[in-house]
Amino acid sequence: EADLESRLPLKGKKILITAGPTYEAIDPVRFIGNHSSGKMGFDIAKSAANLGASVILVSGPTVFKAEHSLIKVINVVSGQEMYDACHQYFDEVDVAIAAAAVADYKPKHVATQKIKKAPDNFVIELEKTKDILASLGIIKKKQFLIGFALETENEIENAKGKIQKKNLDLIVLNSLQDQGAGFGKPTNKVTFIDKNFNIEPMELKSKEAVADDILNKVIAHFHE
């Protein structure tokens, strides 16, 4: 009925969300990672669930826990594990939002034993990880696909390039330039760019409020 529709506008929709960093093993005790806290992805998951959506949250290592009955968390460590989990669920979702900071490179060889300290200089050879979002862009059918972009220069042009390269419907451009925005901070300054290159700069606001703005874009898509 109309009342339920307005309170739970995403009821019946399934959303896949990636969150957090990935850890790429060097040996059994060391890894290559990054400073992503996972907060943005967890906030998006919570907003989506509060709007009635069923959420599959594929998360790299973070301190956050999802407490909502509509959120199913799949914990992963590496980019490959995140890739596998996303591909397991992608067919059944209506929306996918990639908020994870996936490592772009991983060690080419993972040592089976702890690497001992010996030479003064030590080189780790790296190889590219799979681009999860781009791989979903290739196989997407009805799915509304949202990515993030973290840029420090030529922000708009680079973000537009990512929309095309990854076949996205919407990108959330993160401005690190702004004080108070980004890794480990409670706030974000984002600009939305859609697939038609409409550009919408948003105010600096809490990550919870950014999450709500993103879900408003999802709701608007279903009303198109």
User: What own/partner pairs with CB < 8 Å and gap ≥ 24 does 213-220 have?
Assistant: 214/44, 214/47, 214/97, 214/146, 214/172, 215/10, 215/44, 215/47, 215/48, 215/51, 217/146, 217/170, 217/192, 218/10, 218/13, 218/15, 218/48, 218/95, 218/144, 218/146, 219/9, 219/10, 219/51
Give catalytic status of residue 75 as yes or no: no
For residue 142, say whether it is annotated as part of any ligand binding site.
no
3-class SS of residue 188: strand
182, interface contact from Ca ion, ligand CTP, none, CB < 5-8 Å by kind: none
For residue 166, say whether it is annotated as part of any ligand binding site.
yes
By beta-carbon proximity to Ca ion, the closer residue of 44 and 101 is 101
Q: How many residues bind ligand CTP, per CB under 6 A?
A: 15
Tell me: does residue 104 bind Ca ion (CB under 5 A): yes
Q: What is the footprint of ligand CTP within residues 156-185 (CB under 6 A)?
A: 162
Tell me: does residue 124 bind ligand CTP (CB under 6 A): no
Radius of gyration of the chain, Cα coordinates, nearest whole angstrom: 18
Joined together, the tokens standing for residue 217 give 């874009």
Tell me: does residue 131 bind Ca ion (CB under 5 A): no
Which one among 79, 107, 137, 182 touches ligand CTP, defined by CB under 6 A?
79
Binding-site positions for CTP read 104, 114, 148, 162, 166
The residues annotated with a catalytic role in the active site are 34
**Residues binding ligand CTP (CB under 6 A):** 18, 79, 98, 100, 102, 104, 129, 131-133, 147-150, 162
